[in-house]
A and B are shown apart, each in its own frame.
Chain A
Amino acid sequence: MKAPTRGDADGSGLVSHGPWAILGKLLIAAGFVVVAMPLLWVLLGSFKTGAQLNDPTVLTFTPTLENWNTVVSSGILTAAGRSVIVGVITVTLSVLVGSMGAYSISRYKTGGSATRFGILAAQVLPPAVLVFPFLALAYDFQLNDTLAAVIAAHLSFVLPVVCWFLIGFFDAVPIALEEQAMIDGLGRFAAFRKVVIPQVAPGVGAAAIFGFVLSWNDLFYALILAPGNSATLPVRIAGFNTFRGVELGAMCAAILVSVVPVLTATFFVQRRLVRGISGGAVKF
């Protein structure tokens, strides 16, 4: 096998030539095709008429906007807006409350391994277990089919995940930083706010985005707790679940409404996500 030659500045120990590397490149190319194809199909489908969609052999067609009109007028954007509201509130609460608690658990070992295990356990709960109490409670408080019920339910799985990440990040901040701050005259909470928070901020950003995506994508809780007037985006998309040609095109458009914002967000955030995860949360 040849060493990297002429002009390759490679000291990382990873070979970028040779048979394995070629295999790797093929794999990535294949990955591109596999990921792109369904998305491309959806993209094209959103511009096709019902008749064109019924025939999978059609290759060229004149695009139409009728699906997009249908979708937009069906209130999909309102549903998307509701998803945003739910996501933002859930994540904000989780980060605010979670960061304080995670700091306590990380620095002061509050509750010992029981709290850490408890948080792990909470992540593990099947939604099937929790959804019915939420439903029952929602009825009791006249909150059925409202966003409040959905937010409460989303907290049950976003909060533990965000906490788990945050504990990992706080673990990674050297304690010497806070000690220095306290010697310099800051109180405990001020040291926490001014010294520790900036250190974990990029990781918190990654965790927040992760949590938001979890909430944005949830169908199960939203379907059961807010199936009608307060439908979030995934519930609306599920509503396009029929076989009629017209609905198919509209469904494609609806899917894109859900997919495009998330994809653009993750494009900008991908690097931070990898760094944030490797920085804190992948340690068990």
Chain B
Amino acid sequence: MSFRIRLLLPLLALFVVAVGYPLAFSFYISLTNYKITNRFDVKFSGLDRYADALHDSAYWSALTVTFTFVLIAVFLELALGLCIALALQRQKRVRDFTRSFLLSPMFITPIAVGLMFRFLLNQQLGVIPTLLSRFGISYDFFGPGRAFFSIVLIDVWQWTPFMVLLLLAGLESLPRQPFEAARIDGASTFYTFRRVTLPMLSSVLVVAILIRGLDALKVFEYVYAITRGGPGTETQTIQYYVYNTGITFFRLASASAMAYGLLAVVMFLVILLFRRVERARRS
């Protein structure tokens, strides 16, 4: 067996065990009436579970909630992250400490962040509503119509640093000289940003959006810690809904089918993006 195949084999094996087999098994489950309480009496039911999911309005609602969440959150994180990365790049003093400190939220376990904000923003016990009321503002962070945005804000708090990390790395990998040329050519700071920095950063931006976007689809901890999907189904994200279906209601088959539905959508988007990037790179 050639050298390169031998090197790849352990990785391949582990992939099959940790990813491939579960993926296939999950598909199998979705085609049955598998229940964790009823594991040995499994009947094949074809695409019934998929049909059920398509007719389940809660499923569609969860998908909508999740995708809206991703769009808003990632956009905010990108904009904020870019500004902060630019600011950090210029900083000379106390550089390491500032960066470590500002990057820290992304390293905290999300359930901890969720619980932190649950109580920070709580109407009775929270510091922030109390502060706001001093200015005459009464805002129920987890009330109807507001809970969704509060979850978005929590995600922004935790994950903007991640964007900052990626964008900072991208910025620092850009060549210096075109920027010096721009200074001499007479470009203002904003002009340089628009015409030089941003275009050169485009491939990094795509990667950052892709990674963060895919990650944001999995949002679960904040919902689990604070709203449990409510008020109503306002914050019921897909991951939470699937969790509920599978674990709280033991309906693994339905849950698997729903998850596969999501996977199909995600894969479609990823392939689309991949193709576009390949095309751009080749030109």
Contact = CB atoms under 8 A, between A and B. Distances in A.
Interface string B243-283: 10011000010011011101100110010001001000100
A18 to B, nearest CB: 7
A124 interface: yes
Contacts of A159: 11, 14-15, 18-19
A186 interface: no
B88 A57 contact: no
Interface in A228-269: 233-234, 237-238, 240-241, 248, 251, 254-255, 258-259, 262-263, 266-267
A46 B260 CA distance: 42
Q: What DSSP secondary structure best describes chain B's contact surface?
A: helix
B83 A27 contact: yes
Interface of A: 11-16, 18, 20-21, 23-25, 27-28, 31-32, 34-39, 41-42, 45, 53-54, 56-57, 93, 96-98, 100-105, 107-108, 110-111, 115, 117-118, 120-137, 139-140, 152-153, 155-156, 159-160, 163, 188-189, 213, 216-220, 224, 233-234, 237-238, 240-241, 248, 251, 254-255, 258-259, 262-263, 266-267, 270-271, 273-275, 277-279, 282-284
B176 interface: yes
A100 B7 contact: yes
A220 B8 contact: no
A251 to B, nearest CB: 6
B203 to A, nearest CB: 6
Given A13-B183, A110-B5, A248-B119, A137 B217 contact: no
Q: What DSSP secondary structure best describes chain A's contact surface?
A: helix
B147 interface: no
Contact of B172 (A32, A103, A274): A274
A239 to B, nearest CB: 10
Contacts of B137: none
Contacts of A216: 109
Given A41-B116, A124-B270, A241-B115, A132 B19 contact: no
Interface stretch (B49-57, B68-76, B96-104): B96-104
B248 to A, nearest CB: 11
A139 B83 contact: no
Given A130-B19, A267-B100, 8 more contacts: A15-B90, A38-B157, A121-B267, A136-B36, A155-B17, A159-B18, A237-B115, A274-B172
